[in-house]
């Protein structure tokens, strides 16, 4: 039986050979922009049949920044590189450790043993092998210190394993720019996951059964607006994961901790924090079960690879929807829990119709 590291190495090598052969067969040794368009059309033939030539053109011109390289975001990166995004920049200066190997399948074991490569550097070359027509690069820096000029270089920004303060900072920066920049955050805590989406003002085509596609308009809340909604105003069926995540990120922010630095030893303090938040928000503590908080605290920074694959696949699909302006996007939270295998979408703040559902 082939071990995982050897299988991943074989898989990357296979994709590299396949893509390079196709690239060369279509004259990909340098040429004009028109020739490159023909190469893309031939290389992405199957997916063009699914979402059309126009969507593929939009995708090939899109520039994506991923802040925080982990098991979930690397699944996302793999998906959009194979789909043919224009460029992908990875920002994560943290040095690779053995813990990263548990969920990030692109980090070779020998890189971990050397202890000199950042997470972004360790994954960059492997992602290039998946599709040599996509520009993949390392962006050196701290996401919490990104300036506005740097943000302007991208159409999509995805953030993970960052503090709430950093996420709010980046989301606010995206909204301040004159160009449209879509913002996503994604987190995986062992068997649970959350995706947040802010497309600001988004127009897209919605398919109608037996009819012509119709133009739809959506207006999104910022992350700050979405987490500031009084809990008493939320629908009764709002997922417990939404509340539990808000409790943990609020506690970590108050303690000045990064995501995952809070553990089971902090449970008494977290339960006291839950009580205080529920009292202020007029919500029963039963909506945030202690067992759920225990699971999230026990996870720490650990990711469950199958959940990473699910979240990374959904996030990749959502980014392609956003770029192509086709299909109903998530608005604006998505939650997944492997305990029941359910994925739930929450629209927060709710519309007046949903408010008391």
Q: What is the pLDDT of residues 341-357, one digit of tens each?
A: 999 999 998 755 444 44
Query: Is 126's pLDDT higher than 50?
Result: yes
Per-residue pLDDT, averaged over 246-272, amounts to 94
First to last CA, the chain: 52
- 64-98 pLDDT tens trace: 999 999 999 999 999 999 999 999 999 999 998 88
- 156-206 pLDDT tens trace: 999 999 999 999 999 999 999 999 999 999 999 999 999 999 999 999 988
Query: Is 32's pLDDT higher than 50?
Result: no
Query: Is 27's pLDDT higher than 50?
Result: no
Which residues contact residue 147 at a Cβ distance below 8 angstroms, ignoring those fewer than 6 apart?
none
**What percent of the chain clears pLDDT 90, i.e. is strictly above it?**
67
257-260 own/partner pairs: CB under 8 Å, 24+ apart: 257/163, 258/161, 258/162, 258/163, 259/161, 259/162, 259/163, 259/187, 259/301, 260/161, 260/189, 260/299, 260/300, 260/301, 260/302
According to the model, what pLDDT value does residue 145 have? 92
In Å, how far are 113, 134, 156, 254 from 86, measured between CA atoms? 33, 6, 11, 39
Give the integer Cα–Cα distance in Å for 271 and 217.
41
Average pLDDT, the chain: 87
Assigned token pair, 52: 């059309």
DSSP 8-class letter at 287: G
Topology adopted by domain 45-226+303-356: Rossmann fold (3.40.50)
According to the model, what pLDDT value does residue 350 have? 73
For the chain, which residues make up each domain, given as ranges?
45-226+303-356, 228-299
Check the CA dihedral 135-141-142-145 and report its sign.
negative
According to the model, what pLDDT value does residue 3 have? 52
Query: Is 11's pLDDT higher than 60?
Result: no
For Cα atoms 95, 82, 130, give the angle at the middle one, nearest 5 degrees. 55
Q: What is the pTM of this model?
A: 0.86
Burial code of 228-250, b = ≥16 C-beta within 10 A, e = fewer?
Answer: ebebeebbeebbbbbbbbbbbbb
């Amino acid at each position: 039986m082939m071990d995982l590291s050897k299988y991943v190495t074989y898989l990357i090598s296979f994709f590299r050979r396949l893509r390079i052969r196709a690239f060369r067969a279509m004259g990909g040794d340098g040429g004009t922009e028109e020739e490159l368009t023909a190469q893309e059309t031939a290389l992405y033939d199957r997916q063009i049949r699914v979402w059309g030539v126009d969507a593929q053109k939009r995708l090939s011109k899109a520039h994506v920044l991923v802040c925080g390289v982990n098991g979930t975001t690397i699944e996302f990166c793999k998906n959009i590189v194979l789909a043919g995004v224009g460029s992908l920049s990875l920002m994560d200066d943290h040095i690779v450790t053995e813990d990263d190997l548990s969920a990030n399948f692109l980090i070779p074991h020998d890189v971990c043993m050397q202890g000199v490569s950042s997470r972004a550097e360790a994954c960059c070359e492997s992602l290039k092998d998946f599709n040599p027509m996509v520009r993949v690069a390392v962006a050196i820096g701290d996401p919490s210190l990104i300036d506005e000029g740097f943000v302007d270089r991208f159409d999509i920004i995805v953030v993970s394993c960052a503090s709430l303060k950093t996420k709010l900072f980046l989301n606010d920066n995206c909204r301040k720019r004159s160009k449209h920049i879509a913002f996503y955050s994604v987190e995986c805590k062992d068997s649970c996951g959350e995706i947040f989406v802010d497309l600001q003002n988004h127009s897209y085509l919605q398919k109608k059964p037996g009819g012509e596609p119709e133009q739809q308009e959506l207006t999104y809340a910022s992350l700050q607006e979405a987490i500031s909604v009084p809990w008493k105003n939320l629908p009764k069926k709002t997922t417990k994961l939404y509340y539990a995540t808000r409790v943990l990120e609020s506690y970590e922010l108050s303690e000045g901790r990064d995501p995952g630095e809070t553990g089971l030893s902090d449970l008494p303090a977290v339960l006291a924090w839950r009580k205080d938040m529920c009292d202020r928000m007029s919500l029963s503590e039963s909506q945030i079960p202690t067992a759920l908080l225990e699971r999230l605290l026990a996870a720490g920074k650990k990711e469950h690879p199958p959940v990473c694959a699910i979240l990374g696949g959904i996030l990749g699909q959502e980014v392609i929807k956003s770029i192509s302006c086709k299909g109903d996007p998530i608005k604006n939270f998505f939650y997944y829990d492997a305990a029941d295998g359910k994925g739930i979408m929450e629209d927060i703040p709710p519309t007046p119709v949903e408010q008391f559902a």
